[in-house]
A = this chain, B = another copy of it.
Amino acid sequence: MAADDKLRRATIHDVARAAGVSAATVSKVLRGVTSVRADNADRVRQAVADLDYRMDPVASGLRGEQRRIIGAVLPDLESAFFGKLVTGLERAAEAAGYHLIVSASRGSETREAALIERMNDWRVAGCVLVPVRSERGAGAQKLRDLGMTAVLVDRVSADERFDTVASDNHAASAAVADLLIGTGHKHVLLHGATQISKAIRTRVAGFEGRARALDPDVEIDELMSDEPFDTQRGAIRSYFEEHADGARPTAVFSLSQHSTLLVLSEIRRMGLTMPEDIALVGFDDADWMQITWPSITAVAQPVATIAERAARALFARIEGESTGFPVQYLEPCTMLVRQSAGQGTHETPRRSGRGGQG
C-alpha cells in the first residue's frame, strides 16, 4: 500500500473508471453538488473508499479564480498572543474547508508587503493581516492595490476599506482607571516598553480620559520607550529616584507584557511591597502572572474571540455574504483582578468594554 502510494496516487479519473462514471460526475459528488443520481453517488463514494482516493488541493484550485486557501501575515509567531491567534485562525479555516498559510513579517514593513504579494501569488481567497504598526502601513496598502479580500487585526483602528478586529483597548484601559482611581490612587505611572503602536496609544488615551474624568487632579506620568531592556531598567530606576517618597506614584499601569515584566522586576529590586507600597496593573495577561507572589492584576485580551471574529468576517466577505461598508469590531477585554492591585485575593474576572461595531 505504501509502495502503491509511492508509485502513483489514485486520480479522479481512476475513481471515475472504477465507479463507471465520468470524472465530472465524480467531481460533482466530491463537492456535494446535488444533481447526481443517488446510485451513482454511492458507487463513486465506494470507489473513493476502495482506491483510498484523496483530492489534490493544488490541482483542485488551479482553475478557479480563488483557491480554498487563506493567508495570515503577522509580526511574529513567538508571542503567545499571536500563537493563539494563528491557532484560532487555523481552526476556523479548517472548519470551513480552507487551508491556512502563515508568514511572519518580523517587524519589517517591506517584508510585510512582499508577503502580501506572495499571498496574492497563491491566489488566496482572503488574507488576515496583523500590521507591524497600523492600517496605514505597506502591507495594508498592498492589499488595497491588489484588490484583495482581507481583514485587519489587532494593531488597527477603523479602516475605510477592510473590516478590522481588535481588543477594545480604550474601554479596557478606562476600566483600569476605574479600578485604580476608584481605590484612591492619585498618582499613577504609565509605562510602555514596546514599539509605540496604535494599540499602545489607544491604551494611554483610554486610561487618561477616564482617570481625569474621575479625578481632575490626578497626576499621571508617562514613561515610554522601545530601547533595549537594560536601558529601560535604568530609565525606570532613575524615574523612581527622582520621584522618591512623597513624590512616588502609588500605582503603575504597564501597557504591555514586556513592560509588566520590567516594572515588576524593578519594584522587587527596590524592595517595595505590592500592593501596599505600590499597585500594579498590566495590559495583556500571561501565564506567569497568576503565579508570581503577589499575583498580578492584568487585562486579558480575548484572543480566541478575536481570531474567531476575524475568520468569520473574512469568510463572510469571501462568500459575498457581507458586502456593505467595512466594520470595526472591538472585542471587550476581561480584567483579571489579582493581588497586585490591592483588591481581593481571588482571581475575579470582570468584563469591560462596549463590544460591537463602531
Shortest CB-to-CB span from A102 to chain B, Å, is: 5
Q: Is A288 at the interface (CB under 8 A from chain B)?
A: yes
Q: Is the CB of B2 within 8 A of A145?
A: yes
> In residues 49-99 of chain A, which contact B (Cβ within 8 Å)?
54-59, 61-62, 67, 76-80, 82-84, 86-87, 90, 99
Q: Is the CB of A103 within 8 A of B123?
A: no
Q: Is A255 at the interface (CB under 8 A from chain B)?
A: no
Q: Is the CB of B55 within 8 A of A121?
A: yes
- 9-residue interface stretch from A173-181, A202-210, A259-267, A275-283: A259-267
Q: Is A242 at the interface (CB under 8 A from chain B)?
A: no
Q: Is the CB of A54 within 8 A of B288?
A: no
Q: Is the CB of A145 within 8 A of B1?
A: yes
Q: Is the CB of B84 within 8 A of A78?
A: yes
Q: Is A268 at the interface (CB under 8 A from chain B)?
A: yes
With an 8 Å Cβ cutoff, the count of chain A residues facing the other chain is 55
Shortest CB-to-CB span from A276 to chain B, Å, is: 17
CB < 8 Å neighbour of A101 from B77, B80, B101, B293:
B101
Q: A56-B121, A62-B58, A264-B291 are in contact. Are A77 and B67 (CB under 8 A)?
A: no
1/0 per residue, CB under 8 A from B, across A281-320: the answer is 0000011100111000000000000000000000000000
Q: Is A324 at the interface (CB under 8 A from chain B)?
A: no
Which B residues are in CB contact (< 8 Å) with A122? 57-58, 99
Q: Is A117 at the interface (CB under 8 A from chain B)?
A: yes
CB < 8 Å neighbour of A288 from B1, B102, B121, B261:
B261
1/0 per residue, CB under 8 A from B, across A1-30: the answer is 111011000000000000000000000000
Q: Is A223 at the interface (CB under 8 A from chain B)?
A: no
1/0 per residue, CB under 8 A from B, across A89-130: the answer is 010000000011111101000000000011011110000000
Which B residues are in CB contact (< 8 Å) with A90? 103-104
How far is B145's CA from A264's CA once the two chains are assembled, in angstroms? 52
Q: Is the CB of A83 within 8 A of B77?
A: yes
Q: Is the CB of A78 within 8 A of B76?
A: no
Which B residues are in CB contact (< 8 Å) with A76? 83, 87
Q: Is A214 at the interface (CB under 8 A from chain B)?
A: no
Shortest CB-to-CB span from A116 to chain B, Å, is: 12
Shortest CB-to-CB span from A163 to chain B, Å, is: 19
Which B residues are in CB contact (< 8 Å) with A196? none
Q: Is A146 at the interface (CB under 8 A from chain B)?
A: yes
Q: Is the CB of B78 within 8 A of A78?
A: no
How far is B123's CA from A225's CA once the two chains are assembled, in angstroms? 47
Q: Is A31 at the interface (CB under 8 A from chain B)?
A: no
Which B residues are in CB contact (< 8 Å) with A58? 58, 61-62, 67, 122-123
A262, closest chain B residue (CB): B291
Which B residues are in CB contact (< 8 Å) with A104? 86-87, 90
Q: Is A216 at the interface (CB under 8 A from chain B)?
A: no
Max chain B Cβ within 10 angstroms of own Cβ: one of A58, A62, A103, A286? A58
Other A-B pairs, 7, CB within 8 Å; known A1-B145, A6-B147, A261-B291: A54-B117, A55-B121, A56-B121, A58-B61, A80-B80, A262-B291, A265-B291
